[in-house]
Amino acid sequence: MAYKYKKLNIEKLSVIGAGQIGPDICLHFAKVFWKNNVEFVIVDISEEALATAKAKIEKKISKGAESGAFKSEMAEAMLKSITYTSNYDAIKGSNVVLEAATEDGKIKDIIFKQVEVLTDDSCLFLSNSSHMTPEVIFRNMENKGRCLVTHYFFPAERNPVVEVIPGKETDPQITADLLGFYEAIGKVPIEVQSSYGYAIDPIFEGLCELAILCLEKGYGTIKEIDAIARKTLRQGVGPFTALNLTGGNPITNHGLEEMRNSHIDWFRSPKTLQEMTASGERWDTAKRGEKIDVDPAKAEVLRKQFLGGYFALCCYIIDLGITNVDDLDMATEISLVIAAPFTLMNKGGIDEAHSLVKEWCEEHTEFPFPKSLDQAKADGGWKISRIIHKKNDNISVLTIRRPKVLNALNLDVLKELKAEIELAENDASVEGIVITGFGTKAFVSGADINMLAALKTPEEGYDNSHTFQQLINTIEKCKKPTVCAFNGFAFGGGNELAITCTARVAKKGLPIVACQPEANLGFIPGAGGTQRLPRLVGVDIAAEILRTARPISGKEATDIGLVDQEIEGDLVEGAVEFTKKLIKGEVQPRDFMKGGSAEDSFPKDINIGHLSKKIDEIMNKAIYDGIKLPLSEALELESKLFGECILTDDMRIGLDNFLENGPRAKAEFKHS
């Protein structure tokens, strides 16, 4: 059995290089494909490196098994799937060869010339370089059409971002398929045009350079600079700590010098970095738990340095034209564990960002002021969208992409979705719309909990619910058929969005396709769930789902009529075909019940367990009073009752419990 994605058929995958990142890449593949009997080979000329890689992988798998992350069957399959060898002949028969060797053009060239002889014409060649362009790496390959750079980030088995860099001769279809493949296996890929260092490393290494320049100028100590950079840019770790963790001094030293030649003169390896690289020493960063106090005046100087420098670096990448604002904003935040740059500029004010960069460039005279920032100021801010819009024949496919929060909804995302739907509705070439989510885990994980936790009064609750409803109503009012494609689970607002669509399809076999978890958090749905779900699947079925907050599988969702069809194979392609049949009248959407009957007037006795009796009382009022009303009046009732929840003790208890203890911990409701 092999893993198949479109034309990519993987039975054997080889990783060349048993150093720091190669084993981690192989571990991720082994984790994803453990049920597919894919064979993995790690090749290195150093037996010592192979032994170290084997011990590293086995240790990580063992820890995963001990923690429960890997079941014993999975751990055993992963261990058995990997072969470690210095014999390059073991690569024969590989469908994919991923090179993760030393960042040296001559070495990479030798490797790929050898590999091309050992493989057939269908093999895909990938290089995990952090800087080098595909034109340099694959310069002597016979078939450059199947050669790409795939830049992983530390730690490769956990960090989801992968930059995919095609060469000038790479087959565009292979690039598109590879981007889809990485999404299908849980990564967050972005396409970047060929450029030394690609899109994200010039930002990371530029920040490291800036930190060292601040040190050399006497703006602060290593610990102070690390602390202020981390606080200002909301980094997981400061730049000096990051260099220590990744062993990044040598490659950053080399990368900065090369970028001076390929980019602008500002990039260069500072003298202190050169000395640290030569000595092999580590930066004297703060120990775990060590508190670093920084003088306010010094902190302000460093704050302006890092905001100005960060914004300038990110805008510079946009000026290069190698990626777009949406991709860079998302990928930088996730890969570097840092504030999303363009979102941060918008939140702080585009005029303030412009001023900070201008002041910073006046000090750093070799850094040209970014033209894209001038345009953003003229536009009143950066235009950022979390909705990917593609067209498949006459069907508009809208993908909600917020992988960091599993595509959770907030008002900004809903406004963007509303705008995209209106564009599609007014486009004469579009006959139908498919709405799906990015990745394989979640369609939409719900509404942003922090947004809900910030609500303080019934009026604020009503306004929030009413606004969500009005935005989602755009889908229901659309004159063209809309089909929700469940690529993963839909919680809360995600399911409420789905049930406004004309119809719903789901990837076949999903263990959880939908859930309205609000009762578990101490409130009721506020975006139409208490009104549309009963009208779609029946009052008592919906009431039990809403009152118990239990999840339902794809099979059950299909049985009760929430899902119209489960899709085998490619979900989006299946959803597009379903939409075309809907347009032609070959399939019919489920009838939407307009109101209830006398039998629907009273709540049934069900066991709600530990859940709040007070919230259950409000939920029942919403369901059973609402079903007697026209939908518009019923939605108004839901918004008012959602606002009432804010007056209860249990909504605060439920939200606080979720934020402090996570979704699995049961809240201790007072039933008041």
Distance CA 439, CA 444 (A): 10
Model confidence at 604, pLDDT cuts 50, 70, 90, reads confident
Is position 163 within any domain?
yes
Residue 595, pLDDT > 50, answer no
Strand partners, 162: 152, 189
Distance CA 90, CA 41 (A): 7
Distance CA 244, CA 282 (A): 6
Q: Which residue has the tokens 């058995």?
A: 80
- Per DSSP (E only), the strands in 260-360 are none
Percent of the chain with pLDDT over 90: 93
* pLDDT tens figures, 43-82: 999 999 999 999 999 999 999 999 999 999 999 999 999 9
Percent of the chain with pLDDT over 70: 98
Structure tokens, 44:
């290195």
Q: Which sign does the torsion angle of CA 181, 183, 186, 189 carry?
A: positive
The answer to whether the CB of 377 falls within 8 A of the CB of 351 is: yes
Give the residue numbers annotated as catalytic, written as ranges: 496, 518
Please name the residues in contact with 652: beta carbons below 8 A apart, sequence gap of 6 or more: 522
Domain containing 439 equals: 388-661
Terminal Cα-to-Cα distance of the chain (whole angstroms): 56
How many domains does one find in the chain?
3
Distance CA 263, CA 153 (A): 22
Distance CA 35, CA 508 (A): 17
Distance CA 253, CA 634 (A): 64
Of the three residues 353, 379, 405, the one that is the final residue of a domain is 379
* pLDDT tens figures, 126-142: 999 999 999 999 999 99
The answer to whether the CB of 439 falls within 8 A of the CB of 403 is: yes
**Pair (400, 493) in one structural domain:** yes
* pLDDT tens figures, 209-218: 999 999 999 9
**Pair (56, 182) in one structural domain:** yes
Which CATH number covers residue 640?
3.90.226.10
The answer to whether the CB of 390 falls within 8 A of the CB of 399 is: yes
* pLDDT tens figures, 362-412: 999 999 999 999 999 999 999 999 999 999 999 999 999 999 999 999 889
Mean pLDDT for 581-590 is 92
**Pair (342, 454) in one structural domain:** no
* pLDDT tens figures, 137-180: 999 999 999 999 999 999 999 999 999 999 999 999 999 999 99
- Report which secondary-structure segment, H or E, holds 348: helix 341-348
**Pair (471, 552) in one structural domain:** yes
Distance CA 122, CA 8 (A): 9
Per the prediction, the chain carries an average pLDDT of 95
**Pair (459, 580) in one structural domain:** yes
442 SS3 class: strand
The reported pLDDT for the residue numbered 593 is 60
The reported pLDDT for the residue numbered 447 is 83
Is position 260 within any domain?
yes
